[in-house]
Amino acid sequence: MGARHGAAWDLTALLNAADPKAPRAERHLWAVHLLEWLRHGQTEIETGETPKPVLRLKLLLNTVERNPEQAARTVALLTRFWRETDMAALFADFGFAARRSLVGEILERLALRLLPATPDTDDLGALFPLLFTEDADAAWLAAIDERTLARLAALLSVARTGGTAAELAGDASPAGQSTGRSEDAGVTAPGSVDDWRTPLLQATVWLVSAIRAAAFTPALRRRMSAELLADRPFEQLVRASEVLSGSLLSGPPEAVSQQATYLRALLQRCRGAADSVHSHLEEHGVSVNIVFELDQLRARTLRLEAVLDLLLSEAPQRELQALLVELITLSRQRRRVGPLLARQYSLMARKVAERHAQTGEHYITRNWPEYRAMLRQAAGGGAVLAGTTFAKFGILALGLAPFWAGFGAGLNYAVSFLIIHLLHWTVATKQPAMTAPAMAAKLAELHTEAASAARRDADGADQRQALRAMQARGDHDSAAVEGFVDEVTHLVRSQMAGIVGNLAMVAPVVLVVQGLAWWALGRPLVGVHDAEHVLESITLLGPTAFFAAFTGVLLFASSVAAGWVENWFVYHRLDSALAHNPRILSRLGAARAQRWSVWWRANISGLAANVSLGLMLGLVPVLLAFLGLHIEARHVTLSTGQLAAAVGTLGWQILDQREFWWCAAGLVVTGLLNLGVSFALALAVAVRSRGITLLDQRRLNGALWRRLRQAPRSFLLPT
């Protein structure tokens, strides 16, 4: 039977191949082929059109009901399937990670995607992805009508109770929905293997156990609100589920309803306690593993409620249909890794953006005193980077192996950036990645979706009130948009001040040092060969633009590293440890330990950003060259210092040559791409973490263009 592809079977051959005495793997393969036959030739579902799989399902039921011999084999095979397959595993375990870690779930999803699965299993959760293999399966299953669903339920009920094929004719009508509790009570003993509720009750036991176990892990328990845990909702789950199970099997309907209401209230309190962990993470740092555990815990509570709905429903076949549709959708989603990472890292992105929003405020100037202060800070940074320029030429002159040359250059950059940071000076190209989240923070209260919903729902006498609310909200949103535009103008001005200060200092300092070298040593510090190489490397006629954009990516990556390190620092409460650890107190004393704690908390992000940026500028091009990718870093301030050094070596006559002006044009493009790429990437992360919609983004772009047309001077100088 397994040698023939299921889609190639005709229905008669497929039903004749049903063999209840076949080995388990072949019986399950028959079920796989049956589903393949149902979906064979399926098309997109259109409004008012019955999906082809549903039409084939009706044909299958007609054939089984009219052919006793085929019906007998099919019923016998389905009976063995019911009695020898672990149904509870599908409802309790399917879709949940076996290990409580994001890495474990990623590896499991990759295994599901890459490794073949076997039908030789008694776990319905493991067999389920083999049965439903297409994204469209959920749609056609949801489209099964009441009449067909009742006939299918009758077939499965006869198979479950070990009935005969002759019973199908009497159960084919909607009135004969044998999965209902009223009819089964006289056929199957409550809690027996033939009782359709037995696997569902087993699933509730496993789900309750998993929920309790997850909630009692130290990572979650210590972060939940003590007030929400006061009545111990997780500890009450076991007793409540046991009482409900007993009531379902032998209690009166009033007791069942009361216990179900109580269990649902407990689950609601459990979800509230779990959600309180997010408040702790917002304040004390984010862990993606904890976020993943929370998602799993919440999903299990929702699954338990879905199982309860199925157990308590007067039309359980409809509830089962909805649950299977949900499980099929989940089965398809579990084969994808990208959405999982996007969902789990969204909170991390927000926290990184928020921490940078606090840091980025220091880089934004809003008035003339702050603007002049930025010019002074940028000038100081330019002076330091002038020394960095000569140090880089010195490292290259040592003739080190590529890796060590790159490491030396990276260390040179990192030390220079740290000096600038500790002296409270600035490097212009670092600003965008830090200030973009600060601007996105201004957009946290946009209500585009709410306004659209209110506009759709407004009618009759409530329309005037809704319109007034929309107008107030629109005024609020307009203020938020204008505030964002103000931040952009402040940022652009700050960038101009930073670049002008950096370049206005780095070039003159390099030229002065070169002149002093000519006067004192009779030769420049930078050789002619190195100077000519500078003219060849930073010219706009070469790959300078691409290298500058790549450097913008590195600038953004350093900001991400800084946010991650700061989140790690806060998550592990290292500031508190520095202030109160007994060994540290014994060595430093209470006052000094407190100062160290405050200093590290204030500077950890800046230290991480500067060290990571410096090392990446030096090492990443070397590592890429090892892989055969010739990509270099192009930093506008460092490139300006190199060009000034070349002028100091080759003389002022170089200004008459075309090569110099192509290099000058390359510097302009380098500056624009350094700033633009890093800012765009940082803003994209910040906007996504804030949930800004595409419509909001279009409004922002329109507002920016209006400001640029109406007040272009505001982007250059304070007003």
What pLDDT, in 10s, does the model give residues 240-282? 999 999 888 887 888 888 999 999 999 999 999 999 998 888 7
What pLDDT, in 10s, does the model give residues 29-50? 999 999 999 987 554 444 457 8
Q: Pick the closest to residue 515 from 679, 658, 651, 417 (CA basis).
A: 651
Average pLDDT, the chain: 83
The phi and psi torsions of 123 (rounded to 5 degrees) equal: -95, 110
CA separation for the pair 171, 176 (Å, rounded): 5
CA separation for the pair 66, 558 (Å, rounded): 71
For residue 678, the model assigns a pLDDT of 84
Contact partners, residue 208, CB within 8 Å, separation at least 6: 237, 238, 241, 304
For residue 185, the model assigns a pLDDT of 37
For residue 173, the model assigns a pLDDT of 41
Task: Count Cα atoms within 13 angstroms, Cβ side, for 261.
Answer: 6
State whether the Cα torsion 483-486-492-493 is positive or negative. Answer: negative
Q: Pick the closest to residue 644 from 509, 500, 498 (CA basis).
A: 509
CA separation for the pair 690, 370 (Å, rounded): 28
For residue 416, the model assigns a pLDDT of 96
For 429, other C-beta atoms within 10 Å of its C-beta total: 27
Sequential DSSP letters for 412-442: HHHHHHHHHHHTT---GGGHHHHHHHHHHGG
Contact partners, residue 401, CB within 8 Å, separation at least 6: none
For residue 445, the model assigns a pLDDT of 53
What pLDDT, in 10s, does the model give residues 323-377? 999 999 998 888 777 666 666 555 566 555 555 545 545 567 788 888 899 999 9
Question: Which residue positions in the chain have pLDDT lower than 70?
Answer: 1-9, 41-48, 99-100, 162-194, 338-363, 430-477, 686, 688-695
State whether the Cα torsion 622-624-629-634 is positive or negative. Answer: negative
What pLDDT, in 10s, does the model give residues 610-668? 999 999 999 999 999 999 999 999 999 999 999 999 999 999 999 999 999 999 999 99
Contact partners, residue 486, CB within 8 Å, separation at least 6: none
Query: At 592, which helix (H) or strand (E)?
Result: helix 590-626
pTM for this model (two decimals): 0.69
